[in-house]
Structure 1
Amino acid sequence: MQFIDSCPSTNVLSNVMDSEELTSEYEESTLSVEIPNLDSRITEYNDLCTTARRLHASYLFHREKISTDAAAQLCQKIYINMARRIGGTIDNLYTSGWKDLGYHLGLTAEEINYIDNSMKACPTESILRVFCQGETSNFEQIIQSLIKMERFDVIEGIFDPLKSLLDILNNTDSDQGYNSNSGNDTMIKPNYFANNLPEVLRWSKKDDVESKETDLPIAMMKINKPCILLTYFDDGIDIAERIYKTIQNQQVVNKQINVICLENEKLDVLTNPEQYIRYYFDEVNYVIPILTEGYLKTIRSPMAVCSSSTNNIDCSYARFIYTLMSSDYINGSGCINRKVRCILPLGINRKLLVELSKNPLLAVWIWENQIDKLISNLFR
Structure 2
Amino acid sequence: NPELEKIRTEVLHSKGEDEKLAKNVASQLSTIHAAYLFSGCGRSALAQICTVISSTPACSNTAVTSSWKDLGFQLGLTFHQICCIENYKYSDCTENVLKTYAQNMNATLDKVIMALYELKRYDAVSMAYPYLLALEKYARREQVVRTEEEDSGYHSVDGLESVEPTHDGILRPSGLRHLRSQLYITLRNLEIPVSDQTTHDNKIEDNHQQAMIANRPRPQNKNKCSKRVMLTFAKDGEKIAYNVAAQLRKARGQYLPIGVLILDEHTELVEANPEQFITHYFPQMDYIIPIITPKYLETIDKNSVSETSLSSAIDTRYVQMIHTLMVKYYVGNSCRNDKFRSIIPDCHVNSILKDTRMKRDLVLQAFVTESKLETLAMRILKKK
Larger Rg: 2
User: TM tier, shorter chain?
Assistant: 0.3 to 0.5
Q: TM-score, normalised by structure 1?
A: 0.40
